[in-house]
């Protein structure tokens, strides 16, 4: 293991793979460390608040409600988190950017020092959206999704035609060429994709979705897979 935090994370993951008690010797063989190291790391995790029951000679088991302590992020996992948060800061609206900055600050304050340094000096970053998207449009789409409320949009298609649509937003995709809204369109009676940079305005209505978003999301996924929606 490259760092102590990596080793602790690997131990937790090994415990998660087993529903019944597993001996320290077995854990040691799986992790490539000594049984003494396993005992010491289990005690460290218990001190950190991880609910591990059992004892030497009986075996150990991770409780279902046990949480993963922040210090247990591996270097690769920290890189993935940092990249995701940088992406949000580059392409999200003001609310998302603030949330991403707050999340990054919280992560830096609790991870191991070597991981915190890597977060402060990122190796991976994300660029801004390839098309200009008005922040208030994305913010209202997110609000519509959160509350499952219909969105009234004024949209300009590729031919320059302007239309007014009532849509039930399902998700936003940040694609390479453009950011897209996947939504059920009441006018077309079907799932449609709208480029965010072509939405001139968006108004959040009191009208709820005609179907739960979870159902719409399943239908959208089936459509992407070439299957007929239910």
Give me the pLDDT at residue 50, please.
82
Give me the pLDDT at residue 171, please.
93
How is residue 104 annotated by DSSP? Answer: H
pLDDT digits (tens, 9 = 90+) for 105-142: 878 877 777 777 778 777 777 777 666 668 899 999 99
Q: Is the pLDDT confidence value at 230 over 50?
A: no
Give me the pLDDT at residue 1, please.
47
Neighbours of 158 (CB within 10 A): 7
How is residue 161 annotated by DSSP? Answer: -
Measured at the CA of 154, the angle between CA 225 and CA 126, to 5 degrees, comes to 55
Give me the pLDDT at residue 89, please.
86
CATH topology of domain 4-71: Arc Repressor Mutant, subunit A (1.10.10)
Q: Is the pLDDT confidence value at 69 over 80?
A: no
Class of the CATH domain delimited by 135-224: mainly beta
pLDDT averaged over every residue in the chain: 85
| Domain range summary for the chain, segments of one domain joined by + | 4-71, 74-120, 135-224
3-state helix, strand, coil split of the chain in percent (to 5) is 45, 25, 30
How is residue 147 annotated by DSSP? Answer: H
**Chain CA centroid to CA 23, Å:** 34
pTM of the model: 0.61
pLDDT digits (tens, 9 = 90+) for 22-61: 999 999 998 999 999 999 999 988 887 788 888 888 899 9
Equal CATH topology for 4-71 and 135-224: no
Least confident of 13-17, 34-38, 217-221, 226-230: 226-230
C-alpha Rg value of the chain to the nearest Å: 24
CB 169, CB 176: distance < 8 Å: no
CB 136, CB 93: distance < 8 Å: yes
């Amino acid at each position: 293991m490259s760092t102590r935090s990596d080793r602790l994370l690997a131990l937790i993951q090994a415990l998660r793979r087993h529903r019944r008690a597993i001996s320290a010797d077995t854990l040691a063989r799986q992790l490539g460390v000594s049984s003494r190291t396993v005992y010491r790391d289990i005690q460290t995790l218990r001190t950190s608040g991880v609910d591990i029951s059992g004892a030497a000679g009986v075996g150990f088991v991770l409780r279902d409600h046990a949480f993963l302590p922040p210090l247990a992020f591996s270097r690769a996992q920290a890189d993935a988190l940092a990249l995701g948060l940088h992406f949000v800061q580059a392409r999200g609206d003001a609310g998302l950017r603030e949330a991403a900055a707050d999340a990054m600050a919280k992560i830096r304050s609790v991870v191991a020092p070597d991981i915190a340094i890597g977060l402060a000096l990122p190796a991976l970053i994300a660029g801004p959206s390839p098309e200009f998207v008005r922040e208030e449009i994305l913010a209202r789409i997110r609000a519509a999704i959160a509350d499952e409320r219909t969105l009234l949009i004024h949209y300009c298609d590729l031919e320059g035609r302007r239309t007014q649509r009532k849509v039930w937003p399902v998700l936003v995709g940040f694609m390479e060429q453009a950011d897209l809204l996947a939504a059920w369109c009441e006018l077309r009676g079907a799932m449609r994709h709208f480029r965010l940079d072509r939405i001139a305005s968006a108004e959040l209505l009191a009208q709820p979705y005609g179907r739960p978003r979870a159902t719409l999301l399943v239908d959208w996924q089936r459509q992407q897979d070439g299957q007929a929606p239910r």
